[in-house]
Structure 1
């Protein structure tokens, strides 16, 4: 079984590439879809768990207005450094960035109207405790909205990367690439959320395209935004070249009018405290 907790954003190169390649093409569109389900209103208090570079928090802040408040937590300081360096948003809720694991979560009990978590839950080393912490910090009747990718085979660009890694590198690196897609069972998700004390649990499956408008070479550069890329960079040049050649071949079927377009599919969990 994949140890998803090893999929860590350390150093600065990977988080910077994540911000450049994946945030505008993947995580901002999905943040808007996640927030459609969150149904935020003015002046609410929200916590964004595993905020990364603050993508969901920053999309939510204008919805809450200046009387709202957001706490955005992440365990990766390099990600929080990127988030904190971004300019404040006029007329929006202030965002407080907090370096914190998901469990224990450094947040007060029973104060938040909504808990948000975009593509973080599957990485937490203790998922049941993280879910219980999300419930702990919610007000009675508060809402949690969590996004978790489906199986890697349904997420085409990353499936291409996974195939190329498996064909040319090591089993450890190939396995690590599956970490973001490692908790795709809707039955398991439903049970875990209910066991954490939530009720009225709904799981929605949604899809959006990821588009690399400059084509295959841009999509290949986006691999540097994954925590797998340093492991590949540590291999011999011949292995790296073989990986890139295979990745180029795997991405070719996704080219449409010069762009790489791949479907991304995520489960979105909505539940109440």
Structure 2
């Protein structure tokens, strides 16, 4: 079974590439969809768990207005460094970035109207404890909106990467790229949220396209935005060359009008405290 907790954005280079390649093409569009389900209103207090470079928090801040407040947590300091370096937002809720694991979560009990978590839950080493912590920090009746990718087979860009890794590199690297998709059962998601104390739990399944508008080479470069990349570039040059040749081949069927386009599918937990 994949140890998804090893999929960590700890080095300085991967978070910068993540911001360049994945935030505009994946995480900003998905953040907007997540926030549609959160139904934020002015002056609410929100916590964004596993904020990464602050994508969800920064899109939420104008919705809350200057009387609102956001606490944005992440275990990876390099990600928080990227978030903190971004310019402040005017007319928006202030964002406090906090270095913290998901469990225990460095946040007070019953303090938040909404808890958000975009594509972090599957990486937490103790998912039940993380859900209980999210439940703990919510006010009574508060809302949780948590996105978790569906199975890798439903996300063809990552199928291409996985196939190329499996064919040319180590089993460990091939397994690591599956980590974002390692908690894909809607039944398990619903049960875990209910066991953590949430009620009115719904699981939504949504899809959005991931588009590399400059084509195959841009899609190949985007691998540098994943924790798999340091392992790839540590391999011999011959193995690297074989991998990238195979990756280009696997991406070719996804080309549409010169762009590489692959659907991304995610499950979203919507629940109340």
Cα distance between partner residues in 2 of 1:154 and 1:16: 27
What corresponds to 2:228 in structure 1? 228
Q: Distance between the aligned counterparts of 1:208 and 1:159, measured in 2?
A: 16
Shift of 1:10: 1.1
Name the structure 2 match of 1:176. Answer: 176
For residue 156 of structure 1, report the CA deviation from its aligned partner. 1.1
Offset of residue 185 of structure 1:
0.3
**Counterpart of 2:237?**
237
TM-score scaled to structure 2, two decimals? 1.00
Instruction: Tell me the equivalent position of 1:198.
Output: 198
* Structure 2 SS opposite 1:103: coil
In the other structure, the counterpart of 1:85 is: 85
- Alignment match, 2:272: 272
**Separation (CA, whole Å) in 1 of partners of 2:53 and 2:245:** 31
Alignment of 1:1-273 (within 5 A): 1-273=1-273
CA distance in 1, matches of 2:26, 2:247: 19
* Secondary structure of residue in 1 paired with 2:110: coil
Aligned-CA RMSD value: 0.3
Residue 42 of structure 1, CA deviation: 0.2
Instruction: Mark the runs of 5 or more structure 2 residues left unpaired by the alignment.
Output: none
- 1:192-246 deviation digits (Å, cap 9, x = unpaired): 0000000000000000000000000000000000000100111000000000000
Distance 2:159 2:68 in 1: 39
**Distance in 2 between residues matched to 1:245 and 1:11, nearest whole Å:** 26
Q: Which runs of 5+ in 1 are unaligned?
A: none
Aligned counterparts of 1:31 and 1:159: Cα–Cα separation in 2: 23
Give the TM-score taking structure 1 as reference length. Answer: 1.00
**Distance between the aligned counterparts of 1:268 and 1:2, measured in 2?**
21
The CA distance in 1 between the partners of 2:160 and 2:193, in whole Å, is: 31
The 4+ residue runs of structure 1 with deviation greater than 2 A are none
